[in-house]
Chains A and B, each alone.
Chain A
Amino acid sequence: MSLRKILIEARLMLLGVVIFIWTLIPIYHLFVMSITPRVETFAGALWPSRPTLENYETVVKQGHYYLEHFWQQLWNSAFVAVMVCVITLVIASTATFAISRLRVRGGRLVSNMALATYLIPPAFLAIPMYKVMGVYGLLNTQWSLILTMVTFASPYAIWVLKQYADKLPYELDEAARIDGASPLQIFRLIYLPLMAPSLVAIGTYALLLAWNEYLYAFLLLSADKDITLAVALGHFLTTDDAPFNVLMATGAVYALPPAAIYYVFRRYMVSGLTAGAVKS
Chain B
Amino acid sequence: MASVSVEAVRKRYGALEVVHGIDIAIPDGEFVVLVGPSGCGKSTLLRMIAGLEEISGGVVRIGERVVNEVPSKDRDIAMVFQNYALYPHMTVRENMGFSLKLRKADRGTIGERVKRASEILGLDTLLDRYPKQLSGGQRQRVAMGRAIVRNPQVFLFDEPLSNLDAKLRVQMRTEIKALHQQLKTTSIYVTHDQIEAMTMADRIVVMHDGIVEQIGTPLELYDRPANLFVAGFIGSPAINLIRGTLRRDAARSWVSTDAGIDLPLNGNIIGQDGQAVVYGIRPEHLSPSDSDGLPVTVGVVEPTGASTFVYADLSGAQICGVFSERHGFNPGGKMHLMPQLDRVHLFDSATGRRLSA
Contact = CB atoms under 8 A, between A and B. Distances in A.
Chains A and B share a contact (CB less than 8 Å): yes
Contacts of B103: 180
Contacts of A172: 85, 87
Given A179-B98, A185-B102, 9 more contacts: A169-B85, A172-B87, A174-B81, A175-B81, A176-B98, A177-B52, A177-B72, A177-B73, A178-B50
A178 B46 CA distance: 13
Contacts of B50: 174, 178
Most buried by A among B82, B85, B150: B85
A237 B69 CA distance: 67
List 9 tightest A-B contacts by C-beta distance, closest first.
A171-B85, A179-B99, A175-B85, A180-B73, A180-B102, A177-B72, A193-B89, A171-B81, A178-B72
A194 interface: yes
A48 B102 CA distance: 66
B78 interface: yes
Nearest to A193: B89
Interface in B81-99: 81-83, 85-89, 98-99
Interface string B70-82: 0111010111011
A190 interface: yes
A175 B85 CA distance: 7
Interface string B246-265: 00000000000000000000
A94 interface: no
Contacts of A178: 50-52, 72-73, 75, 77-79, 99
A182 interface: yes
A83 B208 CA distance: 57
Interface of A: 169, 171-172, 174-182, 185, 189-190, 193-194
A45 to B, nearest CB: 56
Contacts of A180: 73, 99, 102-103
Contacts of A194: 88-89
Given A169-B85, A179-B73, A174 B52 contact: yes
Contacts of B81: 171, 174-175
Nearest to A190: B87
A181 B102 contact: yes
Interface in B131-151: 146, 150
Contact of A169 (B75, B79, B83): B83
Interface of B: 50-52, 71-73, 75, 77-79, 81-83, 85-89, 98-99, 102-103, 146, 150
Nearest to B98: A179
Contact of B83 (A171, A176, A177, A179): A171
Nearest to A173: B85
Contacts of B98: 176, 179, 189
Which of A179, A189, A190, A193 counts the most chain B CB atoms within 10 A? Answer: A179
B89 A179 contact: no
B67 to A, nearest CB: 13
A152 B100 CA distance: 42
Contacts of B146: 175, 179
7 contacts: A169-B83, A172-B85, A175-B79, A175-B86, A175-B146, A177-B52, A179-B146
A241 B131 CA distance: 65
Contacts of B99: 178-180
A169 B73 CA distance: 19
A194 B85 CA distance: 13
Contacts of A179: 73, 98-99, 102, 146, 150
Contacts of A189: 98
Contacts of A176: 87, 98
Contacts of A171: 81-83, 85
Nearest to B76: A180
A199 to B, nearest CB: 13
Contacts of B87: 172, 175-176, 190
A243 B71 CA distance: 68
A176 B86 CA distance: 10
A27 B150 CA distance: 61
A150 B87 CA distance: 32
A210 B252 CA distance: 93
A256 to B, nearest CB: 34
A194 B86 CA distance: 12
A178 B79 CA distance: 7
B44 to A, nearest CB: 14
Contacts of B89: 193-194
Contacts of B52: 174, 177-178
B280 to A, nearest CB: 39
A149 B112 CA distance: 51
Contact of B73 (A182, A190, A193): A182
A212 B250 CA distance: 100
A177 B73 CA distance: 6
A186 B72 CA distance: 13
A179 B146 CA distance: 9
A234 B79 CA distance: 61
Contacts of A175: 79, 81, 85-87, 146
A216 to B, nearest CB: 37
A180 B149 CA distance: 13
Contacts of A190: 87
B81 to A, nearest CB: 5
Nearest to B158: A171
A172 B87 CA distance: 7
B187 to A, nearest CB: 15
Contacts of A193: 89
Nearest to B81: A171
A3 B99 CA distance: 66
A79 B150 CA distance: 47
Most interface-central of B73, B86, B103 (chain A CB within 10 A): B73
